[in-house]
């Protein structure tokens, strides 16, 4: 219930006020907002737009060109009709709109409710893309419609925010804007300025928090967006730097454990390894075991390109710890990856108990495992974030290893280390980060790099084909499989209903299995399957009982099946460079020649350039540099850029100067 009296009494901080008290929200919409991670009013106000639309200017219909760009105009509706178009599948609403200068046709798909609204007469505001239709000429496609009433004008006549609202059916952009406007009106003064007491000149140049909140949601100009973003990026980096500082101070006490490198577990590990370490792996091991054997807890980031053999190095450190009578916890981002490491550990540590703690482990079996973790016995436990639940207590924990750390939030990463304050910590990543940046981001970590791939790797050949060549691709897959190899085919979506005109994993799996490769074992794995199902399919693929694995990006990180030599990426235009690189990293892991085949018909210039870069560069560092250049610095109407970490608004790569400033201020604030 909306009750201002109650609200006033309850609290004075936006962080303590539930979002349901915002005008226009209420209990049921607040559940939808919770799915976006928005619980308090502060969460809402800090839910920033990912781009903006410039709707400051109105056009006359006469001025509108069929040039595929967006126009905003006021118009009356002359006529509306509804018909069924395109094989009876799509409901089409068509309207003739006019102002004093000209008229134009607009169409909407599957939005029958508009008929009633538009036929009530009067003037509306429209905002949409205009293209050339073969039959109707100039045409506006699915424009947003607003009744010309004052209270609706939040979405018009200004620079308008666009929010990321994944999976939201009830919450439209227009509604979100209205809610945001209401929240700012009522609560902006209750947002405390966390930079208030920080005395640096950098901070004095930033917008105050209230002004910045208004400007980031409802900017008065392009420059204002820039200034507002700068404030919040700075704020985010500042808080992060403070967190790292506190962390570092807390961890500068000596640990009360000693390890022996010469031990039984290390010996048997070395003798069960099917290969020799590379020079780079040896160097990494010697650098890191020195840390382990010293008095201070180890804090290390191990960075190495996809396939460089980080796991084997991490297991060597684990062997030192296990053989000295302590436990080792290994945290990975996905169940599939946990299973893979679990199997390796069973093989490589025959004399040590190895456990898998997954979120599917429940009831009695989970309790039994927790009991073992609380005992004195040395063991290795591998798991996902299930490892950081509060009731998981690991007694005698010596070493924590975190794989693919960029997949975890800063908090998750730290939570595991907090289970034992002086624990040795190794985090691993394939995300190439320039050294100076890494030092700033992981201020509490030393860095080790593996800069060499294991020998005998065949360079992966990358090919780009258009979809009309798909039959030749299928023939090629058949040849590879006849030679005993295996293949992945990755799709951007799980199922077709999600988005039109895109091939999707489930439907293509049916087609491939029954029509294209009826004589070959085809499997499917995607994010909506249960963990048990995923594991069953992956096991069959590891064992070579499935030849072609249809998948979504669940297989993107860490999967290691050396016999797989073909990676087909359908709709490659839908993937970013680092995802493509991770996908390509799944092959070329054995001694067989491997092929990455991207299928894309895109004619978008930027996308073609991105795929071009992907074809030409194999090395993760070069790719990420090229990626930066392609995406350029933050743009006004552009997409949000994802950096190598999970910051909310800042991108440590493109906003590096701000990161440095924030760190300097945090250093000063901490000393005071």
Instruction: Give the interface with Mg ion as residue ranges (CB under 5 A).
Output: 558
- Closest to 131 measured CA to CA, from 118, 145, 142: 142
Nearer to Mg ion, 143 or 558 (CB): 558
Q: Does 281 bind ligand ADP (CB under 6 A)?
A: yes
- Taking CB under 6 A as the criterion, the residue among 430, 433, 611, 659 binding ligand ADP is 430
Rounded CA-CA distance 331/312 in Å is: 15
**Triad 127, 128, 134: Cα angle to 5°:** 140
Choose the stretch contacting ligand ADP; rule: CB under 6 A; options: 51-59, 60-68, 151-159, 275-283: 275-283
Q: Do the beta carbons of residue 120 and residue 80 sit within 8 Å?
A: no
Site string for ligand ADP, 448-467 (x = CB under 6 A): ------x-------------
> What is the smallest separation between the CB atom of 532 and Mg ion, expressed in angstroms?
23
CA angle 34, 639, 125 (to 5 degrees): 80
Bridge partners of residue 18, in order along the sequence = 40
Q: State the binding partner of 128 from ligand ADP, Mg ion, none, CB within 5 to 8 A by kind.
A: none
Q: Considering only residues 277, 464, 474, 517, which one is a binding residue for ligand ADP as defined by CB under 6 A?
A: 277
In the complex, least distance from residue 624 CB atom to ligand ADP, rounded to whole angstroms: 16
Give the residue, chosen from 128, 297, 304, 323, that forms a contact with ligand ADP under the rule CB under 6 A.
304
Q: Tell me the β-bridge partners of 70.
A: 129
Q: Could you tell me which stretch among 179-187, 304-312, 366-374, 570-578 binds ligand ADP (CB under 6 A)?
A: 304-312
Segment contacting ligand ADP by CB under 6 A, of 282-290, 310-318, 352-360, 406-414: 310-318
**Within 83-191, where are the H helices?**
114-119, 173-187
Query: In angstroms, what CA-CA distances link 164 with 225, 249, 348, 444?
Result: 17, 37, 45, 33
Rounded least distance, CB 525 to Mg ion, Å: 18
Residues in region 630-649 near ligand ADP by CB under 6 A: none
Measured distance CA(42)–CA(19) in Å, rounded:
8
Of 82-90, 114-122, 276-284, 513-521, which segment contacts ligand ADP by CB under 6 A? 276-284
**CA pair distance 325, 571, nearest whole angstrom:** 50
Nearer to Mg ion, 206 or 288 (CB): 288
Q: Side-chain half-sphere of 140: how many Cα atoms within 13 Å?
A: 25
Residue placing its CB nearer to ligand ADP in the complex, 130 or 401: 401
Closest among 1, 51, 2, 10 to 165, alpha carbons compared: 51
Q: How far apart are CB 105 and ligand ADP at their closest, in Å?
A: 54
Binding status of residue 297 toward ligand ADP by CB under 6 A: no
* Cβ proximity to Mg ion, 449 vs 599, nearer residue: 449
Question: Which one of the spans 55-63, 124-132, 150-158, 269-277 is the region binding ligand ADP (CB under 6 A)?
Answer: 269-277
Q: Which 3 state secondary structure label does DSSP give 19?
A: helix
Q: Which stretch binds ligand ADP (CB under 6 A): 243-251, 419-427, 555-563, 660-668?
A: 555-563
- Residue 574's CB is within 10 A of a number of other CB atoms, namely 17
Residue showing the smallest CB distance to ligand ADP in the complex = 309
**Alpha helix positions (H), 110-172:** 114-119
**Of the residues 307, 398, 432, 492, which one makes contact with ligand ADP according to CB under 6 A:** 307
Q: How far apart are CB 585 and ligand ADP at their closest, in Å? A: 6
Asked if residues 586 and 596 have their Cβ atoms less than 8 Å apart, the reply is no
Question: From the list 15, 91, 544, 562, which residue makes contact with ligand ADP (rule: CB under 6 A)?
Answer: 562
578 is a site residue for ligand ADP (CB under 6 A): no
Query: Is residue 378 a contact point for ligand ADP (CB under 6 A)?
Result: no
Site for ligand ADP in 583-602 (CB under 6 A): 589
- The tokens for 48 are 């920033």
CB 394 within 8 A of CB 329: yes
- Judged by beta carbon distances under 5 to 8 A according to partner kind, the member of Mg ion, ligand ADP, none in contact with residue 381 is none
Indicate which of Mg ion, ligand ADP, none lies near residue 136 (CB less than 5 to 8 Å, by partner kind): none
CB of 313 to Mg ion, least distance (A): 10
Nearest-angstrom CA–CA distance, 116 and 163: 28
Residue 113 binding result from ligand ADP, Mg ion, none, given CB thresholds of 5 to 8 Å by partner type: none
Q: Are 573 and 503 in contact, with CB atoms under 8 Å apart?
A: no
Please choose which of ligand ADP, Mg ion, none residue 589 contacts, taking the beta carbon within 5 to 8 angstroms, the exact cut-off set by kind: ligand ADP
According to DSSP, the residues that pair with 124 across neighbouring strands are 75, 147
Q: Which is nearer to Mg ion, 313 or 417 (CB)?
A: 313
Binding test (CB under 6 A) with ligand ADP, winner from 275, 279, 368, 510: 275
Distance separating alpha carbons of residues 117 and 213, to the nearest angstrom = 34
Q: Is 310 in the site for ligand ADP (CB under 6 A)?
A: yes
DSSP per residue over 338-358, as a string? HHHHHHHHHHH-TTS-EEEE-
- Strands, E, within 503-563: which ranges? 522-525, 548-551
Q: Does 652 bind ligand ADP (CB under 6 A)?
A: no
| Length of the chain (residues) | 672
Furthest-apart CA pair in the chain: how many Å? Answer: 89
Assess contact for 66 and 141: CB atoms under 8 A: no
Q: How many chain residues interact with ligand ADP (CB under 6 A)?
A: 19
136 backbone dihedrals φ, ψ, rounded to 5°: -100, 0
Instruction: Choose one: 118-126, 239-247, 557-565, 610-618; the region binding ligand ADP (CB under 6 A).
Output: 557-565
- The CB-of-54 to ligand ADP minimum distance in angstroms stands at 43
Q: Contacting ligand ADP (CB under 6 A), which of 61, 312, 320, 423?
A: 312
Question: Least distance to Mg ion from the beta carbon of 558, Å?
Answer: 4
Residue 555 beta carbon to ligand ADP: minimum distance, rounded to whole angstroms: 13
Q: How far apart, in whole angstroms, are the C-alpha atoms of residue 14 and residue 185?
A: 12
311 lies in the site for ligand ADP, by CB under 6 A? yes
3-state secondary structure 361-393: CCHHHHHHHHHHHHCCCCCEEEECHHHHCCCCC
d(CA 574, CA 591) in angstroms, rounded, equals: 30
The minimum distance between CB 311 and Mg ion, in angstroms, equals: 5
CB of 340 to ligand ADP, least distance (A): 8
Q: Is there a contact between 418 and 402 (Cβ–Cβ < 8 Å)?
A: no
146 vs 308 by CB, closer to ligand ADP: 308
Question: Which residues, listed in sequence order, are joined to residue 162 by a DSSP beta bridge?
Answer: 51
Footprint of ligand ADP (CB under 6 A): 275-278, 281, 304, 306-312, 430, 454, 558, 560, 562, 589
């Amino acid at each position: 219930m909306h009750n201002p009296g109650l609200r006033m009494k309850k609290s004075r901080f936006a962080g303590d006020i539930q979002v349901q008290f915002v005008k226009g929200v209420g209990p049921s919409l607040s559940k939808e907002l919770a799915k976006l991670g928005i619980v308090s009013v502060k969460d809402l106000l800090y839910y920033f737009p990912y781009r903006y639309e410039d709707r400051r200017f109105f056009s006359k219909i006469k001025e509108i060109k069929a040039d595929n760009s967006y126009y905003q105009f006021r118009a009356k509706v002359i006529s509306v009709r509804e018909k069924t178009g395109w094989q009876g599948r799509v409901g089409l609403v068509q309207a003739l709109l006019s102002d004093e200068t000209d008229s134009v046709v607009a169409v909407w798909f599957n939005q029958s409710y508009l008929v009633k609204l538009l036929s009530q007469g009067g003037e509306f505001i429209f905002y949409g893309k205009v293209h050339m239709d073969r039959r109707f000429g100039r045409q506006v496609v699915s424009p947003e419609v607003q009744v010309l009433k004052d209270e609706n004008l939040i979405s018009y006549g200004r620079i308008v925010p666009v929010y990321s609202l994944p999976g939201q059916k009830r919450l439209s952009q227009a509604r979100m804007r209205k809610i945001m406007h209401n929240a700012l009106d009522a609560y902006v003064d209750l947002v405390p300025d966390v930079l208030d007491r920080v005395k640096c000149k950098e901070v004095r140049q930033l917008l105050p928090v209230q002004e910045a909140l208004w400007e980031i949601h409802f900017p008065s100009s392009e420059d204002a967006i820039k200034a507002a973003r700068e404030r919040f990026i700075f704020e985010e980096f500042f808080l992060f730097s403070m967190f790292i500082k506190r962390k570092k101070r807390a961890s500068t006490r000596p640990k009360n454990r000693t390890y022996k490198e010469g031990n039984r577990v290390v010996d048997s590990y070395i003798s069960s390894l099917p290969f020799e370490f590379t020079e780079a792996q040896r160097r990494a091991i010697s650098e890191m075991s020195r840390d382990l054997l010293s008095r201070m807890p180890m804090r290390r980031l191990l960075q190495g390109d996809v396939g460089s053999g980080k796991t084997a190095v991490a297991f060597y450190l684990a062997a030192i710890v296990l053989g000295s009578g302590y436990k080792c916890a290994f945290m990975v981002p996905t169940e599939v990856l946990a299973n893979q490491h679990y199997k390796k550990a069973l093989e490589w540590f025959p004399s040590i108990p190895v456990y898998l703690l997954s979120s599917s482990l429940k009831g009695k079996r989970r309790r039994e495992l927790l009991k073992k973790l609380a005992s004195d016995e040395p063991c290795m436990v591998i798991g996902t974030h299930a490892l950081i639940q509060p009731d998981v207590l690991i007694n005698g924990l010596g070493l924590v290893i975190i794989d693919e750390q960029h997949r975890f939030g800063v908090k998750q990463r730290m939570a595991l280390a907090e289970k034992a304050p002086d624990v040795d910590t190794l985090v691993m990543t394939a995300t190439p980060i320039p050294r100076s940046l890494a030092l700033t981001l992981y201020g509490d970590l030393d860095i080790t790099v593996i800069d060499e791939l294991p020998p005998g790797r065949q360079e992966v050949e990358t090919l780009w084909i258009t979809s009309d060549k798909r039959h030749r691709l299928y023939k090629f897959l058949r040849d590879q499989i006849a030679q005993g190899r295996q293949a992945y085919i990755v799709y951007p979506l799980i199922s077709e209903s999600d988005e039109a005109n895109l091939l999707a994993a489930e439907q293509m799996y049916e087609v491939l299995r029954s029509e294209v490769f009826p004589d070959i074992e085809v499997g499917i794995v995607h994010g909506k399957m249960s963990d048990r199902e995923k594991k069953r399919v992956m096991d069959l693929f590891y064992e070579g009982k499935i030849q072609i694995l249809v998948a979504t990006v669940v297989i993107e990180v860490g999967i290691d099946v050396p016999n797989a030599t073909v990676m087909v990426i359908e709709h490659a235009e839908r993937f970013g460079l680092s995802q493509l690189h991770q996908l390509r990293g799944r092959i070329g892991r054995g001694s067989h020649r491997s092929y990455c085949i991207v299928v894309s018909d895109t004619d978008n210039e930027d996308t073609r350039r991105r795929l071009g870069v992907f074809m030409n560069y194999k090395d993760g560092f070069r790719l990420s540099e090229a990626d930066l250049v392609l995406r350029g610095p933050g743009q006004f109407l552009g997409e949000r850029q994802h950096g190598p970490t999970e910051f909310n608004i800042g991108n440590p790569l493109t906003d590096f100067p701000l990161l440095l400033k924030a760190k300097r201020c945090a250093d000063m604030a901490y000393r005071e």
